[in-house]
Chains A and B, each alone.
Chain A
Amino acid sequence: MSKLRVVHYINQFYAGIGGEDKADHKPEVREGKVGPGMAFQQAFGDEAEIVATVICGDTYFNENIESASAEIISMIKQYKPDVVICGPAFNAGRYGVACGAVAKAVAEELKVPVVAGMYPENPGVDMYKKYAYIIETANSAVGMKKAVGPMASLALKLAKGEEIGSPKEEGYIARGVRKNYFASERGAKRAVDMLIKKIKGEDFVTEFEMPVFDRVPPAKPVKDITKAKIALVSSGGPVPKGNPDHIESSSASKYGKYSLAGIYDLNPENGQTAHGGYDPVYANEDLDRVLPVDVLREMEKAGEIGSLHEYWYATVGNGTSVANAKKFAAEIAKDLLAAGVDAVILTST
């Protein structure tokens, strides 16, 4: 039997092209395996071969989702894969979105099975889990070895058209697909068994997990913006020069509150970015590109807004856990309310 054909999608970093300074790298295709492809090839053994690797910079992809997807699909198509592997992206947000979008396009347009790998909090998971099998991974590349095994074995199964087990058995993130099967006991008995376990305080596994709807209804709009106090908050890491609170460049454990007193313009002398997930050159040159203090100060003077709140709040949204982001924002919100702020502009990179 001839070997199954695999095409692998990775970003500029894993291809060894470069870090954030190369994140605008345009899609390219190389024959054979690259970077993490070595580990996948080893896991496939003689059963499958990575015939090509498609590479794209994360920033380029996310700024051009539709055209980049189309270009990548045409590259993948030439190699007639039996299965496509994306990533793993771990907790890298833009990489996760890229992997998810490529996976969706492969599944829908090429009708070829796809396996991706991500950490559950990666935004790519919620966006694309319906369209592809996403193996749950650790939050950083430290988990590469553990990710490759389940990704490779699921990919082989899909390529061979074998039956795929439950999310738990195969290690992928539940896609919301319901499958009928014959249980050994009837429903009423299973429900009562579960209830008894619940009453006893024992562990039980529900047969139908309820989806979590984490939505907040829109707040009422500002009535008169010329009287409103506006606050600036950012996850793009804008901090005073020198990053006095040492906010981490990724997986931030804190946020900062910084005074805007006497600041009418941000510049390389008074501000910089602490964010390690994008090329910092432009923000360090002129931080107004992330936190628009200069124009808001002018608007304040011209009476277009009531006032600019005297502090800004910043953290780094790079691989930062949802739990931490929630905690920071709850504290920030408390502070904003206490200060009589009427509305918030939150910028993200």
Chain B
Amino acid sequence: MVKEIEKTGLPVVHMCTVVPISLTVGANRIVPTIAIPHPLGNPALPREEEKELRRKLVRKALVALQTEVDGQTVFDK
């Protein structure tokens, strides 16, 4: 799906937990997430902290979308 959308010239950031699959599939901008059943959250955290975690991950995705890449790049910092 990532490739089919990116083909049209739209930058796509793939947010997922199993990065090796994303690399195999061919995503160019990858942001690793928390866990398979809750990529953008962590039910073990209090609500506000969980939201802050999600905000940080989404900000990372926005940085990825603004970054020039020349091949598959994992934004894990």
Answer whether residue B9 sits at the interface, using C-beta atoms and an 8 A cutoff. Answer: yes
Answer whether residue A343 sits at the interface, using C-beta atoms and an 8 A cutoff. Answer: yes
Cβ distance A320 to chain B, nearest Cβ, rounded Å = 10
Complex interface bits, B14-32 against A, C-beta within 8 A gives 1, otherwise 0: 1111101110111011000
The CA-CA distance from A334 to B4 in the complex, in Å, is 10
Answer whether residue A112 sits at the interface, using C-beta atoms and an 8 A cutoff. Answer: no
Which of B14, B29, B54, B68 is within 8 Å of A292, CB to CB? Answer: B54
Cβ distance B3 to chain A, nearest Cβ, rounded Å = 4
Stretch at the interface among A185-193, A196-204, A218-226: A218-226
Complex interface bits, A112-156 against B, C-beta within 8 A gives 1, otherwise 0: 000000000001001100000000000000000000000000000
**A220 nearest CB neighbor, chain B only:** B11
What's the A-B contact tally at a CB cutoff of 8 Å? 189
Answer whether residue A278 sits at the interface, using C-beta atoms and an 8 A cutoff. Answer: yes
Cβ distance A16 to chain B, nearest Cβ, rounded Å = 21
Answer whether residue A174 sits at the interface, using C-beta atoms and an 8 A cutoff. Answer: no
The answer to whether B18 and A62 have CB atoms under 8 Å apart is: yes
The answer to whether A62 and B14 have CB atoms under 8 Å apart is: no
Answer whether residue A296 sits at the interface, using C-beta atoms and an 8 A cutoff. Answer: yes
CB-defined contacts of B21 to chain A, threshold 8 Å: 93, 97, 123, 127
CB-defined contacts of B3 to chain A, threshold 8 Å: 214-216, 329
The answer to whether B37 and A280 have CB atoms under 8 Å apart is: yes
The CA-CA distance from A280 to B38 in the complex, in Å, is 9
Which of A221, A225, A294, A346 is within 8 Å of B14, CB to CB? Answer: A346
The answer to whether A345 and B61 have CB atoms under 8 Å apart is: yes
Which of B33, B40, B51, B67 is within 8 Å of A221, CB to CB? Answer: B67
**A282 nearest CB neighbor, chain B only:** B38
CB-defined contacts of B57 to chain A, threshold 8 Å: 292
The answer to whether B28 and A345 have CB atoms under 8 Å apart is: no
Knowing A216-B3, A289-B40 are in contact, say whether A348-B26 is a contact too (CB < 8 A): no
**A334 nearest CB neighbor, chain B only:** B8
Knowing A288-B54, A294-B51, A326-B4 are in contact, say whether A218-B10 is a contact too (CB < 8 A): no
Chain B residues with CB under 8 Å of chain A are 1-18, 20-22, 24-26, 28-29, 33, 35-41, 43, 51, 54-55, 57-59, 61-62, 65-71, 73
Chain A residues with CB under 8 Å of chain B are 20, 23, 59, 62-63, 65, 93-94, 97, 123, 126-127, 214-223, 225, 228, 230, 233, 235-236, 278-283, 285-286, 288-292, 294-296, 298-299, 304-305, 315, 317, 325-326, 328-330, 332-334, 336-337, 341-349
23 contacts between A and B (CB under 8 A): A62-B36, A94-B36, A216-B28, A218-B6, A218-B11, A218-B69, A218-B70, A221-B66, A221-B68, A233-B12, A235-B1, A278-B36, A286-B41, A292-B40, A304-B62, A333-B4, A336-B8, A343-B12, A344-B11, A344-B12, A346-B15, A348-B16, A348-B39
